Amino acid sequence: MILKEMKNIEKNKVQKKRETFSSGIAVFFATLSSAVGLGNIWKFPSMVGTNGGGAFILVYLVAVLLVSLPVMISEFYIGRRSRRNTVGAFDKLNAPPFFKIVGYLGVISTSLILFFYSAVSGWVYSYLFKAIKGDFKELGSLTMDQATDKITKAFDTTIGGNISPMLWQLIPILFVTIIIIAGVKQGIEKVTKTSMPILFLLIIITCVIALSLDGASQGIDFLLKIDLSTITPSMVLAALGLAFFKLSIGVGTMITYGSYITDDNSMIGNAFKVMLSDTLVSITVGLAIFPAVFTFGLEPTEGPALLFNTIPLVFSRIPFGNLLIIIFFLLTSLAATMSMLSLVEVPVAFLIEEVNIKRKTAVIFIMSITAIVGLLTVHPQSILGNIKVFGLSFFDLFDYISSNILMPVTGLLIIIFVGYFTRKSDIYNELSNNHSLRNKWTIRIFYLLAKYLAPILILIVFLNSLGLLG
Ligand code: PHE
Q: How many other CB atoms are there within 10 angstroms of residue 273's CB atom?
A: 16
**Tens-place pLDDT, residues 216-226:** 888 888 888 89
Q: Is the CB of 37 under 6 A from ligand 1?
A: yes
CA-nearest of 123, 271, 417 to 427 is 417
Determine the distance separating the centroid of ligand 1 and the alpha carbon of 181, expressed in angstroms.
20
**Tens-place pLDDT, residues 241-273:** 899 999 999 999 999 999 999 999 999 999 999
* Phi then psi dihedrals of residue 463, to 5 deg: -65, -40
Our mutation pick for probing the ligand 1 site, out of 38, 109, 245, 249, counting the most ligand atoms within 8 A of Cβ, is 245
Say how far apart CA 163 and CA 169 lie, in whole Å: 10
Determine the distance separating the centroid of ligand 1 and the alpha carbon of 248, expressed in angstroms.
4
| Atom nearest to 339 CA in ligand 1 | 8
**Which of 129-134's residues contact partners 24+ apart within 8 Å by CB, and which partners?**
130/154, 131/312, 131/322, 131/325, 131/326, 131/329, 132/326, 134/322
Helix (H) or strand (E) holding 389: strand 388-389
Q: Is the CB of 251 under 6 A from ligand 1?
A: yes
Q: How many other CB atoms are there within 10 angstroms of residue 58's CB atom?
A: 15
The pLDDT-based confidence of 118 (bands split at 50, 70, 90) is very high
**Tens-place pLDDT, residues 21-45:** 999 999 999 999 999 999 999 899 9
Instruction: Indicate the residue type of 247.
Output: L
The pLDDT-based confidence of 159 (bands split at 50, 70, 90) is confident
Under CATH, domain 2-465 is a member of which superfamily?
Amino acid/polyamine transporter I (1.20.1740.10)
Q: Is the CB of 38 under 6 A from ligand 1?
A: yes
Our mutation pick for probing the ligand 1 site, out of 123, 188, 340, 342, counting the most ligand atoms within 8 A of Cβ, is 342
Report the SS3 class of residue 393: strand
Nearest CA to ligand 1 atom 6: 248
Say how far apart CA 384 and CA 365 lie, in whole Å: 21
Say how far apart CA 79 and CA 65 lie, in whole Å: 21
Q: Is the CB of 413 under 6 A from ligand 1?
A: no
**Tens-place pLDDT, residues 307-320:** 898 889 888 888 88
The pLDDT-based confidence of 9 (bands split at 50, 70, 90) is low
Q: How many other CB atoms are there within 10 angstroms of residue 239's CB atom?
A: 24
Q: Given this model, what pLDDT does residue 5 score?
A: 61
pTM: 0.92
* Phi then psi dihedrals of residue 212, to 5 deg: -90, 0
Q: Is the CB of 339 under 6 A from ligand 1?
A: yes
Our mutation pick for probing the ligand 1 site, out of 60, 246, 249, 345, counting the most ligand atoms within 8 A of Cβ, is 246
User: Would you kindly state where each structural domain of the chain is located, as residue ranges?
Assistant: 2-465
Q: Is the CB of 250 under 6 A from ligand 1?
A: no
What is the average per-residue pLDDT within 10-15? Answer: 52
Contact between 226 and 451 (Cβ < 8 Å) = no
Most confident of 4-18, 86-100, 378-392: 86-100
Pairing of strands 392-393, 388-389: antiparallel
Report the SS3 class of residue 132: helix
Contact between 252 and 71 (Cβ < 8 Å) = no
| Atom nearest to 37 CA in ligand 1 | 12
Say how far apart CA 335 and CA 32 lie, in whole Å: 10
Q: Given this model, what pLDDT does residue 11 score?
A: 55
Q: Is the CB of 252 under 6 A from ligand 1?
A: no
Our mutation pick for probing the ligand 1 site, out of 31, 32, 34, counting the most ligand atoms within 8 A of Cβ, is 34
Instruction: Indicate the residue type of 373.
Output: V
Determine the distance separating the centroid of ligand 1 and the alpha carbon of 267, expressed in angstroms.
19
- Residue 89 per-residue DSSP state: H
**Tens-place pLDDT, residues 53-90:** 899 999 999 999 999 999 999 999 999 999 999 999 99
CA distances, 148 to each of 211, 289, 328, 382, 443 (Å): 21, 16, 19, 28, 52
Say how far apart CA 254 and CA 250 lie, in whole Å: 8
Q: CA triplet 37, 34, 425: central angle to 5 degrees?
A: 140
| Atom nearest to 247 CA in ligand 1 | 1
Determine the distance separating the centroid of ligand 1 and the alpha carbon of 165, expressed in angstroms.
21
Q: Given this model, what pLDDT does residue 4 score?
A: 58
Q: Given this model, what pLDDT does residue 310 score?
A: 85
Determine the distance separating the centroid of ligand 1 and the alpha carbon of 121, expressed in angstroms.
12
Q: Is the CB of 342 under 6 A from ligand 1?
A: yes
Q: Is the CB of 257 under 6 A from ligand 1?
A: no
Q: Is the CB of 34 under 6 A from ligand 1?
A: yes
Determine the distance separating the centroid of ligand 1 and the alpha carbon of 245, expressed in angstroms.
5
| Atom nearest to 407 CA in ligand 1 | 9
| Atom nearest to 336 CA in ligand 1 | 12
**Tens-place pLDDT, residues 335-376:** 999 999 999 999 999 999 999 999 999 999 999 999 999 888
Helices (H) and strands (E) in the chain, counts: 23, 2
Q: Taking all residues of the chain, what is their mean pLDDT, rounded to a whole number?
A: 90
Say how far apart CA 70 and CA 446 lie, in whole Å: 6
Q: Given this model, what pLDDT does residue 462 score?
A: 81
Q: What is the DSSP string of 37-54?
A: SHIIIIIHHHHHHHTTTH
**Tens-place pLDDT, residues 288-303:** 888 877 877 788 887 7
Determine the distance separating the centroid of ligand 1 and the alpha carbon of 10, expressed in angstroms.
32
Which of the two residues, 223 and 277, has the higher pLDDT score?
Answer: 277
Buried b (16+ CB within 10 A) or exposed e, 313-340: bbbbbbeebbebbbbbbbbbbbbbbbbb
- Residue 432 per-residue DSSP state: T
Q: What is the DSSP string of 299-334?
A: -TT-GGGHHHHHHHHHHTTSTTHHHHHHHHHHHHHH
- Choose the weakest-confidence range: 15-19, 54-58, 127-131, 146-150: 15-19
Q: Is the CB of 35 under 6 A from ligand 1?
A: yes
Cβ neighbours of residue 388 under 8 Å, at least 6 residues apart? Answer: none
Determine the distance separating the centroid of ligand 1 and the alpha carbon of 290, expressed in angstroms.
22
CA-nearest of 427, 344, 410 to 71 is 410
Say how far apart CA 430 and CA 446 lie, in whole Å: 13
Q: Given this model, what pLDDT does residue 469 score?
A: 67
**Does the pLDDT of residue 470 top 80, yes or no?**
no
